[in-house]
């Protein structure tokens, strides 16, 4: 729940059980399945979790308690899951020594928080339309010096940001400022710092967001305080 809330995903719960018409699809003792499926219901009720039934959605070795998330396009994805598995410990011959010295068979709990990380990243890229929140953007700030005369000042800003663990790059290509801004905006970089002669002389920065909003001139320390707060709190939106 914490992970889904952090990424701003709506979600619901599914109790994934056996397909009653095809018992041959599942491994293990049916009586064990009966017990574990009842446990799963008890767990949901004890934690006051509303859920819907998903007959036939169980894994072939265990029932599942699945979290189904909905992305910004209205598509549903099964992400988080917890499974109570008696079958695999039996098939792998797993044992542990209990306090009384006897050998016991463990119960295996499978837990996946977001499923496959690669698949989850794909879902997030589409969910956010490529405009990832600042805290997970590969590049959080792009510095754009208007001319080569401000390159040293840009490097100083870059150094201070990196010292504060902020991911930043300088665009020092021989292109116009407008082209650099267009490129960085297309790359969905959350913030652009534009420095010209006035900023260098006044020891300030001009900040623009990827949505085109101009935050104007400010002190680097003030901007850094705001963006670090965003990153720490895993904010979904840009600075207001």
Q: What is the mean pLDDT of the chain?
A: 93
Tens digits of residue pLDDT in 27-62: 999 999 999 999 999 999 999 999 999 999 999 999
Report pLDDT for 92. 95
Interatomic CA distance for residues 14 and 77, integer angstroms: 12
Q: Please, which pLDDT band fits residue 96 given cuts at 50, 70 and 90?
A: very high
pLDDT category at 136 given cuts 50, 70, 90 is very high
Residues 6+ apart with CB under 8 A from 23: 30
Give how far the C-alpha of residue 57 lies from the chain's centroid of Cα atoms, to the nearest Å: 25
Lateral strand order in the sheet of 191-195: 168-170, 141-145, 191-195, 205-209, 214-218
pLDDT in tens, 207-224: 999 998 999 999 999 999
Q: What mean pLDDT comes out for the span 93-121?
A: 94
Q: Is the pLDDT at 240 greater than 80, yes or no? A: no
Contact 97, 77 (CB under 8 A): no
> Tell me: the pLDDT tens digits for 145-170?
999 999 999 999 999 999 999 999 99
**Confidence class for position 182, pLDDT limits 50, 70, 90:** very high
Name the token pair of 112: 């996946």
CA distances in angstroms from 104 to 91, 101, 109, 113, listed in the order given: 14, 9, 16, 28
Q: What is d(CA 55, CA 23) in angstroms, rounded to the nearest whole number?
A: 12
Residue 177 has pLDDT above 90, yes or no: no
* pLDDT given for residue 239 in this prediction: 82
Q: What is each CA distance from 204 to 9, 169, 193, 216, in whole angstroms?
A: 37, 18, 10, 10
Distance CA 39, CA 222 (A): 53
The reported pTM is 0.81
Helix (H, G, I), strand (E, B) or coil at 5: helix
What pLDDT sits at residue 130?
A: 92
Distance CA 109, CA 89 (A): 10
């Amino acid at each position: 729940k914490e992970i889904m809330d952090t990424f701003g995903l709506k979600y619901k719960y599914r109790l994934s059980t056996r397909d009653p018409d095809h018992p041959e699809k599942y491994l293990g003792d049916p009586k064990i399945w009966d017990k574990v499926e009842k446990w799963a219901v008890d767990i949901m009720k004890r934690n006051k979790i509303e859920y819907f039934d998903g007959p036939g959605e169980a894994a072939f070795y265990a029932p599942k308690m699945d979290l189904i998330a909905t992305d910004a396009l209205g598509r549903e994805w099964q992400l988080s899951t917890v499974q109570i598995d008696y079958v695999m410990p039996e098939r792998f011959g797993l044992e542990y020594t209990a306090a009384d010295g006897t050998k016991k068979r463990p119960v295996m709990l499978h837990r996946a928080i977001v499923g496959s990380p690669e698949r989850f990243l794909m879902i997030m890229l589409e969910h956010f339309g490529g405009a990832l929140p600042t805290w997970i953007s590969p590049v959080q700030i792009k510095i754009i010096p208007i001319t080569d005369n401000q390159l040293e000042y840009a490097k100083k800003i870059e150094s201070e940001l990196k010292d504060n663990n902020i991911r930043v790059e300088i665009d020092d290509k021989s292109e116009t400022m407008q082209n650099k801004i267009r490129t960085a905006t297309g790359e969905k970089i959350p913030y652009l710092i534009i420095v010209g002669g006035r900023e260098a002389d006044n020891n300030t920065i001009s900040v623009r967001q990827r949505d085109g909003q101009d935050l104007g001139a400010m002190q680097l320390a003030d901007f850094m305080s705001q963006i670090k707060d965003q990153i720490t709190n895993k904010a979904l939106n840009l600075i207001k």
